[in-house]
Copies of this chain bind each other. A is one copy, B any other.
């Protein structure tokens, strides 16, 4: 245990990730979320994060104009419900919402609700994928709020959403704004139909993809000296078998909690925020960044 410094001590904060199946009925998903969030709070969690677009099944597997009906404004019904849970349980809740911002303008958005139910802010997914079964560019306008950290009662919370998780720039910029824990709601899985490149014949799961997913997010923790908490849905919806595997790692990338691939979970982890400064003192990467030499990161490619 470190001795208290002149700025005082920060105690460990318990967080929880709600790894859940998503039902075709939005109301059912909200009820499940409430039950699980309540259970997490009873087990001591002070910050609870739900998976990406938890109110619906993953509709981006195809391009359907009618799916836009699933969107809602912020604040709107889901924000208000989560705010009620947060206020009642006195916890911070991070929820993912299909946001209708204006006619024809939709985002994949995260809301952060403080322990008094107040909406601290929102983050709109910045990196939008478009791949077979993940036709997100059809639905989601790229975020325009940049990378953010939100000051809440229990920690400074950074948010990224799914595809963002593959971008070191997103993690860096979020950490530079003061985030102590990066929460990453996600919806990622194995295509059911593919067996070659995506899935090996020997194993039920192609761990190569899951391992890459784990690795790059653990690397965000290491590069930035922050906790990373990624929460995925689980279960099969149409052509995707969502791989669960939600996890929390410490500021040096060590996994401190991890869920399975096959079942729902309320995954708790204790995050001792003092580890952030400890780790950064021992591995002072932030100190030596060459900010004079990173300008070209805003370029697409260096054409020869």
Which A residues lie at the B interface, using CB under 8 A?
126-129, 131, 142, 146-147, 149, 151, 163, 166-173, 176-178, 197, 208, 211-212, 215-216, 218-220, 222-223, 252-254, 282-286, 288-302, 304
Contacts and interface: CB of A to CB of B under 8 A. Distances in A.
Contacts of A283: 166
B222 A215 contact: yes
A298 B295 contact: yes
8 contacts: A127-B289, A166-B285, A173-B293, A178-B302, A208-B252, A215-B222, A216-B219, A216-B223
A107 to B, nearest CB: 14
B289 A169 contact: yes
Given A215-B222, A298-B294, A300-B291, A168 B176 contact: no
B301 A176 contact: yes
A84 B302 CA distance: 32
A121 to B, nearest CB: 13
Contacts of A296: 146-147, 173, 176
A178 B302 CA distance: 7
B176 A302 contact: yes
A167 B131 CA distance: 28
A163 B253 contact: no
Contact of A169 (B142, B172, B302): B172
Number of copies: 2
Contact of A163 (B142, B197, B208, B288): B288
A299 B291 contact: yes
Contacts of A302: 149, 176-178
Interface centre among A151, A176, A197, A254 (most CB of B within 10 A): A176
Given A167-B289, A295-B298, 17 more contacts: A127-B289, A127-B290, A151-B304, A166-B285, A168-B171, A168-B172, A168-B223, A169-B289, A170-B290, A176-B296, A178-B304, A208-B252, A212-B252, A215-B215, A215-B218, A215-B253, A291-B300
**5 closest cross-chain pairs (CB), A and B:** A219-B219, A168-B168, A177-B302, A216-B219, A291-B298
A77 to B, nearest CB: 30
A173 B298 CA distance: 10
Given A131-B284, A222-B216, A283-B166, A126 B293 contact: yes
Contacts of A211: 253-254
A197 B169 CA distance: 29
Contacts of A299: 176, 291
B208 A215 contact: no
